[in-house]
Amino acid sequence: MPFIIERNDITRMRVDAVVNAANNTLLGGGGVDGAIHRAAGRGLLEECRKLNGCRTGEAKATGGYMLPAKYVIHTVGPIWRGGGHGEEALLRSCYMNSLAVADGLGCESVAFPLISAGVYGYPKREAVRVASECIEAFLASHEMTVYLVIFDRTSFEISSELRGEIEEYIDEAYVSEHEDSERTYRNRMAAAKLTLKKADSASKKEKREGAGAFAAECVLYDACEAPAVGPFDLDESFSETLFRRIDESGMTDVECYKRANVDRKLFSKIKSDKNYRPSKPTAIAFAIALRLDMDGASDLIKRAGYAFSRSIKFDVIIEYFITHGIYDIYKINEALFAFDQTLLGQ
Ligand code: APR
């Protein structure tokens, strides 16, 4: 999964590089800066002293010392002063310059904190938006795993409007699921009585007209109970359906796996093994990348052995986005993260 939002302490991240939200002196401070310096040990400060500081928006690398990460990339975010002083452009520079430094060092994985969203006062939702946009733009043309590490729950917010709409949708789904199961239960009971009644009347009929009449009625009865089977070729595997759908969509393979937040290695594995069975989040991620409707998405994931359920919050959130025509997997993952759910991708 190229872009992962994760709740953690960045000093614990086992990645090639962690990014430090530093200040211009690079001589340590509070928040992430303090945590990284404490965890890395004195060697980090000694190396930082030689860097002669860092300008806001720029990024400089040092060793990771006692951190699990091999490198620390120090960047200095803008102090929020209302938004009219080029803060967003400077914050973007922090992400883009840090990613460029990580790329230059040959890093395969890098972890960011939410730069400027603490002491420097950048509005958290805006800070998340800028971080996501920059990381997505970088991943469109690079192969790397990038983590956005969220330290405390309050640091990560999706819009209250979106949260409200999703919560309402979840409630409706739970209610209709409950009513459906009630209705289904009543229908099954009614049907069972009907069958018994039919059997009774049919046995009399059989005596009069022979068994054919009863058998015909049963066929009619059973057909209305048969599960709806879409107009799909049930023998097609997940992988075969996926690649047929990619061809039909006109997308390239790269476009598809990037949109699915799946890395090239996993995609190649799916392509080379027609019976490969992905996880449910991966199967759904491809349905999102292909912009399938609920029927199409249900058919695709069914071939990996999964189904949507209106009593599973994760599924209902996905259904919300598909039925509202929102196929931006990063937006969907932000919402899934906000609701403590597994992210889409692999
Ligand atoms: N791991 C991950 N994220 C963390 C951690 C941690 N251990 N500690 C704090 N955070 C989060 C905060 O919750 C916030 O969302 O990092 C984000 C950035 O907060 P700050 O560390 O305050 O950084 P910033 O807002 O960029 O301010 C930088 O603070 O520490 C000083 O020396 C630093 O002067 C500089 C200023």
Distances (CA, A) of 81 to 114, 122, 126, 238: 17, 8, 14, 51
Whole-number percent of the chain with pLDDT over 70: 87
Q: What is the pLDDT of residue 203?
A: 65
Residue 180 Cβ < 6 Å to ligand 1: no
Instruction: Please report, as a single letter, which amino acid is at residue 234.
Output: L
Give the tokens for residue 116.
Answer: 């400027």
Whole-number Å distance between alpha carbons of 201 and 4: 63
- 100 burial type by CB count under 10 A (0-12 exposed, 13-18 middle, 19+ buried): middle
The pLDDT of residue 6 is 94
CATH for 3-155?
A: 3.40.220.10
* Candidate list 16, 33, 299, 315, residue with the active-site label: 33
Which tens digit of pLDDT belongs to each residue from 184-231?
767 777 777 766 676 666 666 655 555 444 443 333 333 223 333 344
Q: Indicate which atom in ligand 1 lies nearest the CA of residue 31.
A: 21
Q: Which of 4, 14, 32 to mutate to test the pocket of ligand 1 (most atoms within 8 A of CB)?
A: 32
Nearest one of 12, 15, 11, 20 to 2, comparing CA atoms: 15
Residue 249 to residue 269: CA distance in whole angstroms: 21
Token representation of residue 197? 């009644």
Which residue minimizes the CA distance to atom 11 of ligand 1? 151
For 8, the 3-state DSSP assignment is coil
User: Which protein residue's CA is at the shortest distance from atom 3 of ligand 1?
Assistant: 151
Judge if the beta carbon of residue 9 lies within 6 A of ligand 1.
yes
Element (H, E) at 59: strand 59-63
Closest atom of ligand 1 relative to the 10 alpha carbon: 1
Q: Tell me the domain boundaries of the chain.
A: 3-155, 169-224, 238-338
pLDDT given at position 208? 59
pLDDT value at residue 189: 73
pLDDT at residue 205 in the model: 61
Instruction: Please identify, by atom number, the ligand 1 atom nearest to the C-alpha of residue 28.
Output: 32
Q: Active-site residue 315, yes or no?
A: no
Please give the C-alpha separations between residue 343 and each of 161, 234, 283, in angstroms, as whole numbers.
21, 28, 12
Helix axes 87-104, 124-139, angle to 10 degrees: 40
Q: Is the CB of 123 under 6 A from ligand 1?
A: no
pLDDT for 150 equals: 95
Whether the CB of 20 sits within 6 Å of ligand 1: no
Residue ranges for the chain with pLDDT beneath 70: 181-182, 185, 194-196, 198-234
Sequence-distant (6+) residues with CB within 8 A of 104 are none
223-226, Cβ contacts within 8 angstroms, sequence gap of 24 or more: 225/191
